Amino acid sequence: MVTQVLEKATPEERLPTPQTASEFSFPIATPYPIQLDFMQRLFEIIERHEFAIFESPTGTGKSLSIICGALTWLKHDSERKARTAPTAASSTAVTDDDQRPDWVVAYEKKQQLDAGNAAGSDENDAQQKYLRWVANTRRREAAERKKGLMASRRGVPTASKAESNKRKTDEGGNGSDDEVVVVEAYYSGDEDAQQKPSNGLDDDGQVHYSAEVRKLLERRAGNRPLYDSSDDSDNDDSSDSAVPPKEPSITKVIYASRTHSQLQQFVNEIKRTQFASADKVKCVTLGSRMQLCVNERARQGAQSVHAINERCLEMQTAGSKKSARCGYLPLQHTPMLDFKDATGSAIMDIEELAKEGRRRCTCPYYGARASVNGAHVVALPYNTLLSRSARQAMGISLAGNVVVIDEAHNLVDTILAIHSISLDLRTVKALQEMVQMYFTKYWRRLKGSNVTYIRQTTALLKALSKFMQTIADGTTRVVSVNEFLTMAHADHINVYKIDRYLRESKLGRKLNMFSDRLVQKDSDVPSKRPTATVRETVAGPAPATAVAAFEAFMECLGKPDRTGSRLIIRATSSSKSGVEVELKYLQLDPSEAFGEICSEARAVVLAGGTMKPANDVVEQLLPSQSEPQSTPLDLKLDPANARLFAWSHVVDRSHICSVVVGSGPTGAALRFAHGDQGDPAKLREAGLALAALCQVTPGGVVAFFPSYALLDRMHRNWTSAGIVDRISKRKPVFVESSTSSGDVLELYSARVKAAGSTGALLLSVVGGRLSEGINFSDELGRAVVMVGVPFPSLASPELAERLAYYEGMAGAPSAASGVIGSMGPRARELYESLCMRAVNQSIGRAIRHRNDYAAIVFLDARYAEPRIARKLPTWIVGSAGPTATASAFGPALAQVASFFKREFA
């Protein structure tokens, strides 16, 4: 009988969408209808490889819907792969009367498996290889610990070697402590091939090793942590392999949000579901060293994440007298493998990861990184996901995975901010001094092309410093990168090669170590005051921060032809340091960074409580393509195919009272455009209106203003007119400042919640610390009052360039005129959308759950204009207002009073 061969499985069978909450493993028996619909739409978007925007108001269980929808798809997808993957047992059916030789049957089986699904076989082989390496490593290291052989792996120097090092230092050499500061031999490419020693020796006659060999030697010498997850290795799985094979990555959901508190909330929601208990989903939260470093010696005195990063990397390098190896970086693999097992068996948030690291004396930062490939869910901050270099450093691959970006209302702004870099004159001058000092000390020991490139770097810094010192106070110019280099007389310098040199040579890391040694050397002499050079160069701008800023700026200059790139040259007066000159690189096109994410991931979903208006977001992230769309990837990146889902609130519409007030108590118009904000009469009218609203509103009232300047102006006006005293008789007034908000929020909350309280009034700013991420539920926010429309200032060159780029016209709209009507239609649409997204975030602070209720009052007639009203959230537009016309104050006040008296008295 002839052997039967299974037909090759189809690339991917279509998964049916679950229809009930139980099929989604939803932890609540009866979810809100919008939650079930949310999960179904999410499942379908992932299955179809699409891009979508989901708007689900706060309090509707959005996080839980994301978890159950995405993880249900992940579970079904895993089952699909198990069904369709061919196995050795099922690939062939051989009868007992088959008379062929065994080797023929075995060969045919192998051919069938290879032809059936070679990729799946490779994945299985890689997994088995990794598991064998883990088992062999655990066994070998257990034997080493038992035999006490770890001392030899620590590289403890002998007495004669220590004496030799001391003698070398005493004789004027730099000793082993300086070896780590000197940048390694650098060869930039083919143009420097003639510099490479043909006999395999360096300039001083020493052997010149390849980068791969040097990496292996460093690890064996203990100069790098053996478990570093950033290394990709194809080494075999033999028990003595110094570098582990890479753990195969499984399909996962990558969840990004804005803050660590939001990530913590998401992780805790997973713990509530059966995905954590029954399905044993593995979830890891990623953070920076600022959140996860548990070495107090590394954290001590570090004011920025850059400083902690450099200190951590230095503490991984042997040979430095100052930086002994970090005690949380084990020399064996087993402690890190144990940490990974712990994170895989129990879902932990960022704080629990740090606590587990302290308990096990194992670095949770590297432990979390090492756990990425084997995790089903990876939770991480915006900045890590949106930066390609950060993703690569963390070992995150988007290929075939699901990306969910929560709280995505500011996604475009975040992308532009991440890829826009500022460099000031003070930093440039400090770096110029630092590089010159470094070169003076070590130039004789630099090999390869280091001398050439460090001289070019110094020349560039000198050119930048000289140019910036010529900028007059009050100057603001916007130019292209090439125009700037010409103006600075630096167009003869190859900034692309310098950018590559800084990245590949790790000169920045060496400069940080060098500056640390300067400070340490100066402080070791108690009677000696720090020299001017050390005090100004090293103790001025933090070296780690300064170097990081310069490297990021050079990376931008190295791409002068990038679409949407501009450079702002700005000089402003400062009472502390005179004229401050700043160079700011602007990236105006977010589609480049986001396009990488969207093209690599299986599906991308943007979620938020207030995503409207969304049209400009889609157009900026997925710009229109001129050529016909043919491939699935082209279709996913086509803005015409973007899906938008918007659900109303779970609260009954009778729980929301929204009204636009067009005139104040005296009949004066309420319209606070830029030209009206200096009119004392109009400011007083707003105060009288707010005072009357406070009389009829129970509990807390939160009023939002367009800016801190207008808030301060109105508050002073109201105080002098006695309005603040009138309000305070019923509701004490608390005012947010631009420097601090935590204490004000605590005082306001305590006053509202106090026994017998009649509430309080909180004055805050749209886009400020209290306008996003703060919960004003129940009595804390019975009314939200929007005073004015918070249009961003047209005087900002950043905004002007952004509007001009979006409009696609040659020049920016006139910032001096401040006339919205002078813009093109696309620029005006974006300008209004930027404003209304901030408004929607502010008013969304009030309604937080199904039984909540609040009044939303707009003290500006412009909110009734159709262009503005249609950009309000669905749950506001669908309630009792706002209407096409603004109400007079009397009817509006009666409507609010009746709302509280009739429904909630």
| Structure tokens given for 123 | 């994945």
pLDDT tens across 488-498, in order? Answer: 999 888 888 99
Residue scoring higher pLDDT (255 or 817): 255
- Separation of alpha carbons 706 and 766, rounded Å: 6
The C-alpha angle with vertex 133 and arms to 132 and 135, in degrees rounded to 5, equals: 65
Residue scoring higher pLDDT (488 or 236): 488
Residue 113 has pLDDT above 80, yes or no: no
Those residues whose C-beta lies under 8 Å from the C-beta of residue 581, and which sit 6 or more positions away, are 424, 425, 468, 469, 471, 569, 570, 571
Residue type, 661: V
DSSP for 493-513, please give it: S-HHHHHHHHHHH-HHHHHHH
Phi and psi torsions of 492, nearest 5°? -85, -10
DSSP-derived 3-state class of residue 241: coil
- Separation of alpha carbons 388 and 545, rounded Å: 20
**How much is the average pLDDT of 212-241?**
45
**How much is the average pLDDT of 758-768?**
92
Query: What percent of the chain is predicted at pLDDT more than 70?
Result: 76
Question: pTM of the prediction?
Answer: 0.83
**Taking a C-beta distance cutoff of 8 angstroms, is the pair 602, 77 a contact?**
no
Q: How confident is the model at residue 70 (pLDDT cuts 50, 70, 90)?
A: very high
Question: What CA–CA distances, in Å, run from 691 to 71, 183, 733, 749, 892?
Answer: 50, 67, 11, 20, 14
pLDDT tens across 612-646, in order? Answer: 888 888 888 987 654 555 566 666 667 778 888 98
Nearest-CA neighbor of 606 among 46, 55, 63, 71? 55
Residue type, 656: I
pLDDT tens across 701-745, in order? Answer: 999 999 999 999 999 999 999 999 999 999 999 999 877 666 888
Rounded to the nearest angstrom, the gap between the alpha carbon of residue 707 and the centroid of all alpha carbons in its chain is 26
Those residues whose C-beta lies under 8 Å from the C-beta of residue 7, and which sit 6 or more positions away, are none
**How much is the average pLDDT of 256-285?**
91
- Separation of alpha carbons 373 and 284, rounded Å: 10
**pLDDT score for 293:** 92
Phi and psi torsions of 827, nearest 5°? -65, -40
Phi and psi torsions of 123, nearest 5°? -60, -40
Q: How confident is the model at residue 231 (pLDDT cuts 50, 70, 90)?
A: very low
**How much is the average pLDDT of 642-660?**
86
| Structure tokens given for 347 | 């879902």
Question: What CA–CA distances, in Å, run from 503 to 472, 526, 550, 770?
Answer: 33, 37, 11, 39
**pLDDT score for 112:** 57
Cite the DSSP H helix spans in 543-679.
Answer: 543-557, 591-600, 615-621, 632-637
**pLDDT score for 236:** 44
**pLDDT score for 627:** 53
Owner of token pair 């960022």: 350
Q: How confident is the model at residue 234 (pLDDT cuts 50, 70, 90)?
A: very low
What single-letter DSSP state applies at residue 537?
I
Phi and psi torsions of 844, nearest 5°? -75, -5
Residue 388 neighbours by CB distance under 10 Å:
15
- Separation of alpha carbons 844 and 99, rounded Å: 76
Question: What CA–CA distances, in Å, run from 77 to 41, 376, 525, 755?
Answer: 16, 12, 65, 54
**pLDDT score for 304:** 76
Rounded to the nearest angstrom, the gap between the alpha carbon of residue 101 and the centroid of all alpha carbons in its chain is 60
Question: What CA–CA distances, in Å, run from 586 to 88, 476, 591?
Answer: 56, 14, 14
pLDDT tens across 145-200, in order? Answer: 888 755 444 444 433 443 444 434 333 344 445 677 888 877 766 454 445 554 44
Lowest mean per-residue pLDDT among 133-137, 300-304, 405-409, 685-689: 300-304
**pLDDT score for 719:** 95
β-partners of residue 433 are none
pLDDT tens across 597-619, in order? Answer: 998 999 999 998 888 888 888 88
pLDDT tens across 295-307, in order? Answer: 988 888 777 788 8
- Separation of alpha carbons 67 and 70, rounded Å: 6
CB burial of 232-248 (b: ≥16 within 10 Å; e: otherwise) equals eeeeebeeeeebbbbbb
Q: Of how many residues is the chain composed? A: 905
Question: What CA–CA distances, in Å, run from 775 to 56, 409, 772, 845, 873?
Answer: 16, 17, 9, 6, 18
**pLDDT score for 25:** 93
Q: What is the mean pLDDT of the chain?
A: 80
pLDDT tens across 13-25, in order? Answer: 789 999 999 999 9
Residue scoring higher pLDDT (34 or 543): 34
- Separation of alpha carbons 490 and 484, rounded Å: 8
Nearest-CA neighbor of 612 among 837, 832, 766? 837
- Separation of alpha carbons 105 and 673, rounded Å: 84
Nearest-CA neighbor of 367 among 297, 287, 428? 287
**Taking a C-beta distance cutoff of 8 angstroms, is the pair 112, 88 a contact?**
no
**Taking a C-beta distance cutoff of 8 angstroms, is the pair 188, 520 a contact?**
no
| Structure tokens given for 469 | 């010192």
Q: How confident is the model at residue 371 (pLDDT cuts 50, 70, 90)?
A: very high
- Separation of alpha carbons 490 and 461, rounded Å: 9
- Separation of alpha carbons 82 and 499, rounded Å: 46
CB burial of 261-299 (b: ≥16 within 10 Å; e: otherwise) equals ebbbebbebbeebebbeebebbbbbbbbbbbbbbbeebe
Residue 241 has pLDDT above 60, yes or no: no
* 722 φ/ψ sector (left φ>0, alpha ψ -120 to 50, else beta): left
Q: Quick one: angle between helices 680-696 and 889-904, nearest 10?
A: 20
Q: How confident is the model at residue 841 (pLDDT cuts 50, 70, 90)?
A: confident
**How much is the average pLDDT of 865-894?**
77
- Separation of alpha carbons 284 and 349, rounded Å: 8
Residue type, 749: S
| Structure tokens given for 350 | 């960022």
